[in-house]
Amino acid sequence: MAKKRRKWAESNEKEPEVNMTPMIDCVFQLLIFFMVGTRFRSEDGVLAANLPRDKGQRPVEHINKKEELEHVRIKLFLGGSGVAMSATVCQVNQQSIPFDTLRADPAGEALKAHLMGLQRTGGNVPVTIDGEFQVPTRDVVCALNAAISAGYKEINFTVPDFLRRGGGLKPR
């Protein structure tokens, strides 16, 4: 009897197995989800600035000399001549600065150097970036980056009041 039982036990000796198939299925589902849904972390970040709290515009002739000295105004507009007709022109307090973010100076080093020079002579003064409508955002961000690099703390953007006309908005 005992011999028979041992024989039966030997014939039924199998290693216990865990069924892995459902787990593999789930893992594959997760893998596909992450592969499709993943966006690789980019170097995207931010540059901070402020908007002016005052509204409306003041004609340039109303800005007095003292104010002009105590303020750095970066003006960006489309200009140039010939082939460079639609190139962005950069002026700092009405003085033209070489500015070519597409080719020669993509990081705006000339503007940065100029702003650093002003920073040394004028102390920490507010900067206003005045970008014309048609200027690409790239150039304005470059100017903002240059101002931050030069150590300016108070950087503002101009927001023209007459935008409301083009946008079809009701006046407040």
Partner 1 sequence: MKIKREEEEAQVNMTPMIDCVFQLLIFFMLIADMSNMATDREISLPYADKTVKIDINDPVIVNVRRDGTMWVGSEQVLENRLIQILKHEGDRKRGADGISEQEIFIRGDEFCKWENVQKVMWHAQDQAIYKIKLGSSGDPNKIRK
Nearest C-alpha neighbor of 149 from the set 110, 112, 124, 114: 112
Question: What span, in angstroms and rounded, lies between the C-alpha atoms of 66 and 123?
Answer: 14
Q: Which of 31, 63, 69, 104 forms a contact with partner 1 (CB under 8 A)?
A: 31
Alpha-carbon separation of residue 48 from 114, 141, 156, 158, 161 (angstroms):
21, 10, 10, 14, 22
Nearest C-alpha neighbor of 157 from the set 139, 140, 142, 171: 140
Side chain identity at residue 138, one-letter code: R
- Per-residue mark of binding to partner 1, 75-114 (x: CB under 8 A): -x-----------------------------xx-------
By beta-carbon proximity to partner 1, the closer residue of 43 and 61 is: 43
Alpha-carbon separation of residue 151 from 34, 60, 104, 161 (angstroms):
42, 26, 23, 29
By beta-carbon proximity to partner 1, the closer residue of 116 and 141 is: 141
Query: Does residue number 14 form part of the binding site for partner 1 (CB under 8 A)?
Result: no
Query: Does residue number 141 form part of the binding site for partner 1 (CB under 8 A)?
Result: yes
Whether 107 and 99 have beta carbons less than 8 Å apart is answered as no
- Interface segment toward partner 1; rule CB under 8 A; list 4-12, 64-72, 120-128, 137-145: 137-145
Residue 70: CB minimum distance to partner 1, A: 21
Residues forming the site for partner 1 (CB under 8 A): 20, 24, 27-28, 30-31, 34-35, 37-53, 55, 76, 106-107, 131-142, 144-145, 148-149, 157, 159-160, 163-164, 167-169, 172
